[in-house]
């Protein structure tokens, strides 16, 4: 299951340079960190992509806050149980972010 | 040292602003203008550039926009200066800025605008292919008549493309970026939510990419025809919902923070939702659970992000999107005439924004060619001094235009009946009128009649019978105690004489009806003397109101103050004709209402067509007195306008009167300091500012009244102040007194109802 999620994340991540940050502590998060070892940290500025594996509203908000402009936030955790309130203009629109859901179940 | 210099400049500026009497927001604006003036010249000197002037729409404070002078540097290296001829109105953003919605609060003052098209008037070094005269589309342009921008921003307008359509270029770039962010569309079902200008442009641009079925969702069914014309497969209103759409791509162009849930719901699993409209506010639930469970991609498409992309791009994506739009227009692949809409007058920007704010669908552009070319582009401004306040040309009075042209073959001969204070004033007006003369003067006090005849002409008549001699007079001007008006009107009419009555027509409505019947039966003219209509500034106001300066009548305020001395009640202001009739309810008909407020009621009716429908109020009467000393009335007008009308005959110090009439588009202030404010570009006055209406220092209103009456009689037409007008005012007085007595509101009879 973890491998499938990791593959799915791989598919939706933007190609090319840029580093990836993974939020969460579970098995999926660990696998993702292993997979994207080469794209972890070390880069300048904010991450090009942030993968959330928790499905928690607070973590998702954090992911959107941390990702670079024009970056991608991957929702790789379970669907958020609580509604996530966003200022879509400031949080997503003006920065040109992409928020990608991995599909039912997530991680 | 530098700080000290700044302080000196700042304090000097404050003094200059204060010396011009500017306060509050006006003072801030003047300060801002002066600093802009100085900064621009500093830059001009530093860069050795000229200054070019024009006009721009400036939002000066919340809810206020006006056309003001602005200046720009003449194009330097890599730049072009463009005379803008059409600037597009972006309803979403500009409405949000006008309403100061979240995420749309530019610092005041600011020049709104987005996108325009015009003609190159200057190009800097290194600019190729932009000869003066080249028509160009200018993204990021403001609502202004002139602008200097980097040459890379502008795109030549292909032949055959209307400038108004080309002016949509920046909106098309924004919409085109949203479409681009959606990725491949060929054969895919697409849903566009929102059909304003951005939504409609996105729809039309995505149609160039060969999508599958396209569903357009909009709040209003009015958008359906345009959407279907542009190639939509189906159309739904928001109320009809989005069930079953299942689009591969959903473009949310609403700007509504709550629309995201619908957009997410309209996407099929694995689909893309492009957030194109700028949401104004927080979305309590952005639908991320559904984004996750359906495997959607939610994409933000704001022009700021495009600017970020452009930094790393080999080809400027702005220029690409601009060309794509203009080429589609030129090739006939995209229609935009309905989006560029009707031309609006830049002077009426405030009105256009007000309509936008009210939720009206405003698709249009500002047409700068409606302004004089000399105002649009002014060269050689480097040495021009700053204008700390906009010059506002006062509007001169025009009552003289109404004056009789040349003398009648035979002047209308007047018998002046009653030669007290107002009688003498009226006799003088007749004597000065070009088509009237005083032939007889009569007063129970022979000395008064003699004095009036000596000054104004004619002879003193010893008796009423002599004064009513049709062989020596054609008309009478009655300036007698109110209770004599009706009886003398009937006698004059019986003698075949036309009748002018110093207002009011009678002490009560029954008497007024009798006077009108008598003159009708005798076939002679009747008019109550309401001369304030003819004051120069009132006539100017009337002209502007007729041209639409006020719009729909919304209300009127009258506060009349006099400080009549006790002697007034025993002989008027001069004491020439001792009598206490003014203090008698039976003889005068009332106090300050019938004596003074009637003039204002006539003007509200005359100027703004305000027909009083009901009245309520209260009054105060001194102990032992018969007529009211003060009165306060609430008035409702046909059509829903409201009025607050009050008067006092003993306000110590007699403060300035107030008289204002306002509509949904403007306000006229007739007292004190007459001036008009309108959002309409009418009559050559500047919208969005108070324009003074010049009063005539030598008030000729009574003689104009006399001349107009004589002209009407000569032409066989009803006088300007018609019997119906006189009856309407009398009906108001009658209802107001009944309302005061009963403590309840009273309906006011129309003139027709009175006569019926």
pLDDT (0 to 100) of residue B654: 87
Q: Using a CB-CB distance cutoff of 8 angstroms, which residues of chain B are in contact with residue A97?
A: 299-300
CA of B312: which chain A residue's CA is closest?
A70
Report the C-alpha gap between B646 and B650 in whole angstroms: 12
Strand (E) positions, B356-411?
364-367
Q: Is A37 on the interface with B (CB under 8 A)?
A: no
pLDDT (0 to 100) of residue B613: 93
Q: Using a CB-CB distance cutoff of 8 angstroms, which residues of chain B are in contact with residue A89?
A: 102-103, 257, 278-280, 302
Q: Is B288 on the interface with A (CB under 8 A)?
A: yes
DSSP B393: P
Question: Which of B257, B270, B288 faces A60 most closely, judged by CB atoms?
Answer: B288
- Cis status, amide bond into B109, omega within 30 of 0: yes
Q: Using a CB-CB distance cutoff of 8 angstroms, which residues of chain A are in contact with residue B288?
A: 60, 75, 79-80, 84, 86, 99, 101
CA of A91: which chain B residue's CA is closest?
B300
Report the C-alpha gap between B699 and B537 in whole angstroms: 10
The pair of three-digit structure tokens given for residue B13, joined into one six-digit string: 């500026």
CA of A85: which chain B residue's CA is closest?
B284
User: Closest by alpha carbon to B506, among B528, B523, B522, B521?
Assistant: B528
C-alpha separations of A70 from B33, B56, B72 in Å:
38, 35, 34
| Parts of chain B with a pLDDT under 50 | 407-408
- Judge contact between B163 and B117, C-beta under 8 A: yes
CA of B203 to nearest chain A CA: how many angstroms apart?
19
Residues 49-68 of A with CB under 8 A from B: 55, 60
User: Residue A106: is its pLDDT beyond 60?
Assistant: no
* Contact flag B298-A89 (C-beta cutoff 8 Å): no
Q: Using a CB-CB distance cutoff of 8 angstroms, which residues of chain A are in contact with residue B295?
A: 100-104
| Owner of token pair 């110093």 | B502
Q: Using a CB-CB distance cutoff of 8 angstroms, which residues of chain A are in contact with residue B302?
A: 89, 93-96
| Owner of token pair 């003088």 | B428
CA of B285 to nearest chain A CA: how many angstroms apart?
5
CA B275 to chain centre: 38
Using N-to-C axis directions, what is the helix angle for B169-181 and B303-312, rounded to 10°?
A: 80
pLDDT digits (tens, 9 = 90+) for B455-508: 999 999 999 999 999 999 999 999 999 999 999 999 999 999 999 999 999 999
pLDDT (0 to 100) of residue A19: 84
Using N-to-C axis directions, what is the helix angle for B485-494 and B509-522, rounded to 10°?
A: 10
Q: Is B253 on the interface with A (CB under 8 A)?
A: no
Report the C-alpha gap between B481 and B358 in whole angstroms: 52
The pair of three-digit structure tokens given for residue B348, joined into one six-digit string: 């009426």
* Contact flag A103-B269 (C-beta cutoff 8 Å): yes
Residues 66-105 of B with CB under 8 A from A: 102-103
B216 three-class SS:
strand
| Owner of token pair 């129309």 | B750
User: Closest by alpha carbon to B363, among B198, B163, B234?
Assistant: B198
Q: Is B286 on the interface with A (CB under 8 A)?
A: yes
Pairing between β-strand A72-75 and β-strand A49-52 as defined by DSSP bridges: parallel
Helix (H) or strand (E) holding B647: strand B642-648
Q: Is A105 left (phi over 0), alpha (psi -120 to 50) or beta?
A: left
User: Residue A107: is its pLDDT beyond 50?
Assistant: no
User: Closest by alpha carbon to B737, among B566, B489, B508?
Assistant: B508
Q: Is B261 on the interface with A (CB under 8 A)?
A: no
B118 three-class SS:
strand
Question: What was the ipTM of the complex prediction?
Answer: 0.93
CA of B284: which chain A residue's CA is closest?
A85
* Contact flag B293-A104 (C-beta cutoff 8 Å): yes
Question: Which of B103, B292, B300 faces A101 most closely, judged by CB atoms?
Answer: B292
β-sheet bridge partners, residue B415: B440, B476
DSSP B655: P
pLDDT digits (tens, 9 = 90+) for A40-90: 655 678 888 999 999 999 999 999 999 999 999 999 998 888 888 888 888
Q: Is B217 on the interface with A (CB under 8 A)?
A: no
Q: Is B295 on the interface with A (CB under 8 A)?
A: yes
* Contact flag B291-A106 (C-beta cutoff 8 Å): no
- Judge contact between B455 and B505, C-beta under 8 A: no
C-alpha separations of B72 from B82, B471, B635 in Å:
11, 75, 51
* Interior/surface letters A79-99, b for 16+ CB within 10 angstroms, e for the rest: bbeeebbbbbbebbbbbbbbb
- Cis status, amide bond into B501, omega within 30 of 0: no
Q: Using a CB-CB distance cutoff of 8 angstroms, which residues of chain B are in contact with residue A75?
A: 288, 291-292
The pair of three-digit structure tokens given for residue B600, joined into one six-digit string: 């204002």
The pair of three-digit structure tokens given for residue B458, joined into one six-digit string: 């004619």
- Quickly list DSSP for B460-519: E-SSHHHHT-TTT-SEEEE-S-GGGHHHHHHHHHHTT-EEEEESPS-SSHHHHHHHHHHH
User: Closest by alpha carbon to B542, among B610, B640, B615?
Assistant: B610
Q: Using a CB-CB distance cutoff of 8 angstroms, which residues of chain A are in contact with residue B290?
A: 79, 101
Question: Which of A84, A97, A101 faces B293 most closely, judged by CB atoms?
Answer: A101
- Judge contact between B648 and B562, C-beta under 8 A: yes
Pairing between β-strand B79-88 and β-strand B146-150 as defined by DSSP bridges: antiparallel
* Contact flag A99-B298 (C-beta cutoff 8 Å): yes
β-sheet bridge partners, residue B561: B648
* Contact flag B302-A96 (C-beta cutoff 8 Å): yes
pLDDT (0 to 100) of residue B616: 96
Question: Which of A79, A89, A98 faces B289 most closely, judged by CB atoms?
Answer: A79
A54 three-class SS:
coil
| Owner of token pair 């009015």 | B222
Question: Which of A70, A83, A103 faces B295 most closely, judged by CB atoms?
Answer: A103
Report the C-alpha gap between A80 and B478 in whole angstroms: 88
- Quickly list DSSP for B44-98: HHHHT--EEEEEEEEEEETTEEEEEEEEEEPP-TTEEEEEEEEEE--HHHHHHHH
Pairing between β-strand B79-88 and β-strand B64-73 as defined by DSSP bridges: unpaired
pLDDT (0 to 100) of residue A12: 82
CA of B323 to nearest chain A CA: how many angstroms apart?
22
| Better pLDDT: B508 or A11 | B508
Q: Is B310 on the interface with A (CB under 8 A)?
A: no
The pair of three-digit structure tokens given for residue B259, joined into one six-digit string: 């629309």
């Amino acid at each position: 299951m973890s491998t499938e999620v990791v593959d799915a994340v791989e598919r939706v991540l933007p190609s090319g340079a840029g580093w990836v940050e993974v939020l969460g502590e579970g098995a999926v998060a660990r696998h993702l960190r292993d997979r994207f070892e080469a794209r972890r940290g070390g880069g300048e500025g904010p991450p090009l992509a942030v993968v959330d594996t928790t499905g928690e509203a607070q973590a998702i908000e954090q992911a959107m806050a941390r990702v670079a402009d024009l970056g991608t936030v991957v929702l790789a955790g379970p669907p958020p149980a609580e509604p996530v309130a966003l200022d879509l203009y400031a949080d997503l629109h003006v920065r040109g972010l992409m928020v990608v859901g991995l599909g039912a179940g997530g991680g | 040292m530098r700080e000290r210099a700044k302080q000196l400049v700042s304090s000097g500026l404050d003094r200059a602003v204060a010396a011009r009497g500017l306060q509050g927001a006006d003072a801030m604006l003047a300060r801002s203008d002066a600093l802009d003036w100085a900064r621009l010249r500093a830059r001009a000197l530093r860069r050795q550039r000229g200054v070019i002037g024009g006009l721009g729409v400036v939002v000066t404070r919340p809810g206020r926009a006006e056309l003001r002078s602005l200046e720009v540097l003449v194009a330097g290296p890599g730049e072009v200066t463009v005379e803008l001829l059409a600037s597009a109105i972006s309803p979403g953003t500009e409405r949000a800025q006008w309403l100061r919605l979240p995420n749309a609060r530019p610092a005041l003052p600011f020049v709104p605008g987005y996108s325009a098209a015009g003609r190159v008037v200057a190009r800097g070094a290194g600019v190729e292919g932009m000869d003066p005269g080249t028509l160009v589309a200018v993204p990021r342009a403001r609502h202004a008549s002139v602008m200097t921008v980097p040459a890379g921003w502008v795109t030549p307008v292909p032949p055959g493309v209307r400038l108004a359509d080309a002016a949509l270029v920046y909106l098309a770039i924004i919409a085109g970026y949203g479409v681009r962010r959606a990725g491949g569309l060929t054969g895919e079902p697409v849903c566009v939510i929102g059909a304003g200008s951005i939504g409609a442009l996105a729809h039309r641009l995505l149609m160039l990419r060969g999508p599958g079925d396209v569903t357009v969702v909009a709040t209003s069914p009015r958008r359906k025809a345009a959407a279907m014309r542009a190639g939509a497969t189906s159309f739904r209103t928001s109320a009809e919902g989005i069930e079953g759409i299942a689009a591969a791509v959903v473009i949310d162009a609403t700007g509504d923070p709550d629309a995201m849930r619908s957009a997410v719901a309209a996407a099929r699993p694995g689909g893309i939702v492009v957030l194109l409209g700028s949401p104004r506010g927080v979305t309590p639930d952005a639908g991320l659970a559904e984004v996750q469970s359906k495997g959607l991609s939610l994409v933000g498409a704001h022009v700021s992000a495009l600017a970020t992309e452009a930094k790393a791009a080999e080809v400027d994506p702005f220029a690409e999107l601009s060309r794509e739009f203009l080429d589609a227009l030129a090739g006939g692949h995209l229609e935009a005439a309905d989006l560029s809409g009707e031309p609006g007058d830049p002077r009426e920007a405030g009105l256009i924004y007000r309509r936008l704010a009210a939720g009206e669908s405003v698709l249009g552009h500002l047409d700068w060619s409606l302004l004089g070319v000399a105002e649009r582009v002014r060269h050689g401004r480097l040495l021009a001094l700053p204008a700390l306040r906009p010059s506002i040309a006062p509007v001169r009075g025009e009552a003289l235009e109404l004056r009789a042209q040349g003398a009648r073959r035979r002047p209308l001969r007047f018998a002046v009946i009653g030669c007290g204070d107002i009688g003498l004033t009226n006799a003088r007006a007749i004597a000065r009128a070009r088509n009237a003369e005083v032939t007889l003067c009569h007063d129970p006090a022979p000395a008064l009649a003699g004095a009036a005849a000596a000054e104004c002409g004619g002879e003193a008549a010893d008796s009423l019978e002599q004064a009513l001699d049709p062989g020596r007079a054609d008309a009478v001007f009655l300036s007698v105690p109110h209770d004599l008006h009706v009886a003398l009107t009937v006698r004059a009419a019986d003698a075949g004489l036309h009748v002018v009555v110093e207002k009011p027509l009678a002490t009560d409505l029954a008497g007024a009806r009798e006077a009108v019947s008598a003159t009708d039966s005798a076939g002679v003219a009747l008019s109550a003397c309401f001369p304030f209509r003819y004051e120069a500034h009132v006539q100017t106001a009337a002209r502007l109101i007729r041209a639409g300066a006020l719009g729909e009548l919304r209300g009127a305020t009258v506060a009349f103050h006099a400080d009549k001395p006790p002697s007034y009640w025993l002989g008027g202001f001069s004491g020439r004709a001792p009598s206490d009739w003014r203090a008698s309810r039976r003889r005068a008909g009332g106090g300050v209402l019938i004596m003074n407020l009637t003039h204002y009621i006539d003007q509200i009716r005359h100027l703004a067509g305000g027909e009083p429908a009901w009245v309520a109020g209260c009054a105060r009467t001194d102990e032992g007195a018969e007529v009211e000393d003060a009165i306060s009335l609430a008035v409702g007008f046909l059509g829903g306008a409201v009025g607050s009308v009050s008067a006092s005959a003993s306000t110590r110090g007699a403060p300035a009167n107030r008289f204002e009439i306002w509509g949904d588009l403007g306000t006229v202030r007739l007292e004190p300091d007459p001036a008009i404010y309108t959002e309409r570009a009418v009559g050559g006055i500047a919208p969005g500012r108070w324009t003074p209406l010049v009063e005539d220092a030598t008030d000729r209103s009574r003689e104009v009244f006399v001349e107009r009456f004589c002209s009407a009689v000569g032409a066989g037409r009803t006088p300007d102040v018609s019997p119906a007008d006189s009856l309407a005012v009398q009906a108001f007085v009658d209802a107001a007194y009944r309302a005061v007595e009963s403590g309840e509101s009273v309906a006011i009879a129309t003139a027709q109802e009175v006569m019926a």
